[in-house]
């Protein structure tokens, strides 16, 4: 018995597979074309049926691949794929190692219309990388990524990080944080120095992160009283800014000081000093910058502030208050950690950016990732990822004073939330194996191009 492709449009028909326990027909239920700058992407929804028309499973096609859905009592152990010549309705469909483990009789078949869990890979064929495209945006942007020393041992990772056509800025994820002074007066810069040296070798800028934050405060700091604490903080800021000097394109001076409701986070720093530690941190950073003649931009950095809400209102008010006292907050970092089911409109992000840029502050997307429910997300989750990333990038592109976008690492393997497939590349065979670009890479390209 044969399996065949029966297209309602009669565009293609082909014998696919023989000898199955039942007779199947693959019906092209619908096909649609989306025109994007003279390129066409076919999206197909197909139904695999028995001879009497009872559907066994549904296949969803996106960007050149059809992904098989699981069927009750008839699991598909691999996947189907097809190729579509651009600007043509010709379809070639071939089965790729698909195995039907078991089939019930047609009258007893039950169907599970689940969402397939297959990674959607990049179809971008342009010659320009992400940073190349960013540089063409209004006022010239950068495309950057976070990294840290453990990643530098992966040769495939390093090969990609070396490519400044994609990334021209690097942010150390953890190696510059307050734990770099694990004991009072004893600074350990080894890891951070390796990141800076790598960036210097490739010609990438470094976005230095961070001088003051509420996490990972060393024990010796926690026993200090207010005056000693503020002095120790000032010394820490001075030491780091002096050590790294003009290697830093920007510094996150204070990180995550505001709650969702707009109140100040009840952090260790706040409990000891109130909001005075924020003022002192920026005052010290400005003084060191001026004394040493540094070029680094001084940023406040936080999450969940991408649109107008209580938290972003509070950040704006805090920055304005400092600036009125001539304590310069020169930019705001919008971390941009999302989940795939978040509702994200580029227009809302752009309008919120404008509230800050109108007040002569730069803005930057500093830690972009979009989490899904698992490391093996469904196709629909990945489609949501793509939409969110494109909208974030397009908002930065349209904002004159958006400096650029940094992803929170670029390979799922090394992301701090690697179990949620949040970034641009994955390694199907694990660490220290070749990287594969995902559809999220294409989302970034689309954001810069559109």
Provide the annotated active-site residues: 256, 367
| Six-digit token string for 423 | 């970034």
Instruction: Name the nearest CA neighbour of 244 among 280, 288, 276.
Output: 288
Cβ atoms of 207 and 249 within 8 Å: the answer is yes
**How far, in Å, CA of 312 to CA of 261, rounded?**
9
Phi and psi (nearest 5°) for 89? -95, 5
Cβ atoms of 66 and 60 within 8 Å: the answer is yes
Cβ atoms of 244 and 299 within 8 Å: the answer is no
Instruction: Name the nearest CA neighbour of 387 among 437, 436, 338.
Output: 338
Polymer length in residues for the chain: 450
Instruction: Name the nearest CA neighbour of 367 among 256, 286, 293.
Output: 256
**How far, in Å, CA of 151 to CA of 157, rounded?**
7
Cβ atoms of 184 and 235 within 8 Å: the answer is no
Q: Strands 248-255 and 79-83: what pairing?
A: unpaired
């Amino acid at each position: 018995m044969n399996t065949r492709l029966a297209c309602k449009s009669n565009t293609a028909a082909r014998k696919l597979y023989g000898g199955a326990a039942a007779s199947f027909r693959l019906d092209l239920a619908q096909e649609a074309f989306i025109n994007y700058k003279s390129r066409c992407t076919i999206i197909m929804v197909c139904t695999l049926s028995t001879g009497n028309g009872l559907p066994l499973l549904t296949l969803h096609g996106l960007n050149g691949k059809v992904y098989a859905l699981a069927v009750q009592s008839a699991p598909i152990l691999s996947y189907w794929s097809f190729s579509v010549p651009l600007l043509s309705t010709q379809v070639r469909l071939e089965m790729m190692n698909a195995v039907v483990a078991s089939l019930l009789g047609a009258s007893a078949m039950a169907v599970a219309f689940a969402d397939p869990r297959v990674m959607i890979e990049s179809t971008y064929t342009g010659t320009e990388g992400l940073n190349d495209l960013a540089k063409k945006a209004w006022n010239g942007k950068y495309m950057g990524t976070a990294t840290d020393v453990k990643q530098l041992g992966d040769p495939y990772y390093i090969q990609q990080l070396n490519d400044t056509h994609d990334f021209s800025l690097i942010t150390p994820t953890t190696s510059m944080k307050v734990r770099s002074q694990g004991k009072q007066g004893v600074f350990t810069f080894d890891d951070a120095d390796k990141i800076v040296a790598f960036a210097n070798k490739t010609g990438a800028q470094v976005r230095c992160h961070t001088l003051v934050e509420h996490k990972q405060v060393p024990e010796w700091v926690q026993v200090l009283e207010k005056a000693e604490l503020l002095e120790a903080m000032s010394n820490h800021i001075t030491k780091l800014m002096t050590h790294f000097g003009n290697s830093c394109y920007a510094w996150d001076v204070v990180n995550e000081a505001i709650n969702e409701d707009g109140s100040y986070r009840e952090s260790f720093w706040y409990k000891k000093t109130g909001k005075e530690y924020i003022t002192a941190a920026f005052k010290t950073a400005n003084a060191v910058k001026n004394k040493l003649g540094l070029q680094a931009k001084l940023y406040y950095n936080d999450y969940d502030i991408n649109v107008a809400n209580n938290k972003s209102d509070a950040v704006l008010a805090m920055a304005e208050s400092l600036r009125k006292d001539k304590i310069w907050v020169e930019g705001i970092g919008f971390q941009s950690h999302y989940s795939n089911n978040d509702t994200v409109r580029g227009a809302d992000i752009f309008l919120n950016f404008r509230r800050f840029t109108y007040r002569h502050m730069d803005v930057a997307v500093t830690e972009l990732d979009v989490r899904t429910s698992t490391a093996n997300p469904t196709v629909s989750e990945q489609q949501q990822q793509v939409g969110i990333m494109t909208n974030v990038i397009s908002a930065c592109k349209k904002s004159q004073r958006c400096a650029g976008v940094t992803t929170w690492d670029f390979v799922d393997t090394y992301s701090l939330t690697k179990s949620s497939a949040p970034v641009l590349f994955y390694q199907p065979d694990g660490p220290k194996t070749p990287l594969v670009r995902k559809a999220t890479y294409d989302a970034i390209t689309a954001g810069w191009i559109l």
